[in-house]
Structure 1
Amino acid sequence: MKGVIRLNHKPKALKKGDTVGVIAPASPPDPKKLETALLFLEELGLQVKLGKALKNQHGYLAGQDDERLADLHEMFRDGEVKAILCACGGFGTGRIAAGIDFSLVRKHPKIFWGYSDITFLHTAIHQNTGLVTFH
């Protein structure tokens, strides 16, 4: 049934060799912490794909609202990406939540992980798609 929200829909687990997308839908990540995290993901046997706006900075945000939203959409759309990891929290997700294409998220469910301000996106995604996300 089109448009039906399946509550508590769990995404598939990651396995060695899978690709994870790393984005910054809120504040920009600390470059040293980001590098450490990317090395850790690779040590786990995961491939890493970086969002285009990941290292951008626009005031206290990791790029313009449309850039951060585009990264989120691109990672959900990308069939190679099995999980989306938010590099950090901070501020700004409330500015992009209204623009999320929830039909895209429902069509391509995958692991979505983040903390702090990303909680805004966890709530919006779960309420509109039923996808279980990870904090």
Structure 2
Amino acid sequence: MDRSVRVGVAAVIVRDDTILLGERIGAHGANTWATPGGHLEFGESIEACAEREVLEETGLNAHFVKKLFFTNDVFCREQKHYVTLFVLLSCETGEPKVTEPDKCKRWKWCRLDELPNPLFLPLQNLFEEHPQLADLV
């Protein structure tokens, strides 16, 4: 069993008081809602990773704005451990498309006070640890 800790990057995209979330399928966290994101690759900047993952997963051209927070996420059932780096990105135009149908069922713009359930563990941890997040984005 791989006992290494991986680094995940989560792209928070806010538009008109909503946040972009996708319903995960396939990998760990199936049937939960998450921001676009993925693994940080060797030598890649956090900002470039966030922009790349958004483009790969949604087809949107988003641009880095600022670093937000990190969470420490242990998926007990899957025996996986991640440190997830959350970053804020801007994307003023375009609508997300499901470009990886084996990983995401659909994308949805969600109001922060009406988030779908259940949320992906890193996103749950983010909102629990930083309830003021709505004020920062």
TM-score, structure 2 normalization: 0.28
Greater helix fraction, Structure 1 or Structure 2: 1
TM-score, structure 1 normalization: 0.28
